[in-house]
């Protein structure tokens, strides 16, 4: 039973990041514009690089291969992106602030899950 639950969790978690990374490439122009508006240097290259981190990290979790590398890649993505792209405390518009606060909180929860998995793999 635990093995089945672990497998389902790995699939859901991995596919989430693969899909997010795919969107970085499929929506490169739009996401680059948004990144540029948030002050990200080399926005297009940064969006592509973070897309690669997401896809590689998601694949590593999904396939249970090079998991430490993949989880570190996901953490390397989540830490700066959470604070740079979703800095809700800088926004005045209540709707924009709420949207960024939701994404900030979601990313913190995902980072927590990544760190929990990393701790489990390393133990």
> pLDDT tens digit string along 42-84?
999 999 999 999 999 999 999 999 999 999 999 999 999 999 9
Total-model pTM: 0.92
Taking CA atoms, 79 is separated from 40, 45, 61, 66, 75, in Å, by 14, 18, 18, 20, 6
Q: For residue range 85-113, what is the model confidence (pLDDT) as tens digits?
A: 999 999 999 999 999 999 999 999 999 99
Residue spans of the domains in the chain: they are 2-122
Mean pLDDT of 9-33: 97
Going from the C-alpha of 77 to that of each of 24, 44, 50, 62, 70, the distances in angstroms are 12, 15, 6, 17, 11
């Amino acid at each position: 039973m635990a093995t089945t639950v672990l497998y389902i969790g790995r699939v859901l978690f991995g596919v989430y990041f693969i899909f997010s990374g795919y969107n970085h490439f499929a929506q490169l122009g739009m996401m680059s514009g948004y990144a540029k508006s948030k002050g990200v240097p080399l926005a297009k290259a940064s969006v592509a690089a973070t897309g690669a981190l997401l896809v590689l990290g998601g694949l590593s979790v999904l396939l249970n291969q090079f998991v430490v590398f993949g989880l570190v890649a996901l953490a390397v993505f989540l830490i700066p992106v959470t604070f740079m792209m979703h800095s809700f405390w800088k926004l005045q518009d209540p709707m924009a602030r709420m949207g960024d606060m939701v994404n900030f909180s979601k990313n913190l929860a995902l980072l927590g899950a990544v760190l929990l998995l990393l701790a489990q793999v390393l133990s």
